[in-house]
Copies of this chain bind each other. A is one copy, B any other.
Amino acid sequence: MEKVKLTRREREKLNQRHEMLAASLQLFSEKGYHNVSMHEIAEKSEFAIGTLYKFFPNKEALYKALVLEKCEDFGDVIRCALEEPGDEIGKLRNYVRAKCDVLRKNLSFVRLFLAESKGLSFNIKAGLEEELQKRYFAFMEEIASIIRRGIQNRRFVRVADPFQLAVAIDNVADTHLLLWLRWPEQYPYPEDPDTILNIFFKGMLVQ
């Protein structure tokens, strides 16, 4: 994030872009990519259709921009959490907590992403996923390396391939949030990351 002075015009443009993406996010997450028309987005965002197309060359590009931007944001937040000082256990806790928090704060996007990121015109996916998979992969590697370090430091037992374990933790967190989304009474929001981590800690923590 280089610090740059933006002209009034540029700031305005950025604002418009954000409003467009916000409207799109809301509509997409409510109705799904294929069931939202560019006209709807134009109406909701209170721009003319043509203006939309000035910012994004087509519907697909608009969608991709939306997803990538959000993912970038998420990545930033989580990366921050991982950089906080602490031992490996603390880092895993931070990770789960940050992830849950950022997803909770972006529920409409989560809904969209759960819904569409995998589905969706396979063509779009192709382009998107390649990028996203790489990022996801990189993230999991970071978690895996924390686990590896924990094993070296005799804090963890090696119950499985660390990368696989990382993906498993991440996945169980996702699932927990999904359950919370659907049946909030039975599955309360995991304020304490250990709600999720204990499943793994019981086996892997060196006592």
Contact = CB atoms under 8 A, between A and B. Distances in A.
A175 to B, nearest CB: 5
B198 A159 contact: yes
Contacts of A123: 35
A61 to B, nearest CB: 17
A55 B32 CA distance: 27
A114 interface: yes
A69 interface: no
Given A159-B199, A168-B175, A114 B122 contact: no
B119 A32 contact: yes
A58 B164 CA distance: 42
Given A159-B199, A168-B199, A200-B203, 10 more contacts: A31-B122, A34-B121, A35-B121, A114-B118, A115-B119, A119-B119, A119-B120, A160-B199, A164-B179, A164-B187
B202 A159 contact: yes
A157 interface: yes
A23 interface: no
A122 B31 CA distance: 6
Interface string A76-94: 0000000000000000000
A176 interface: yes
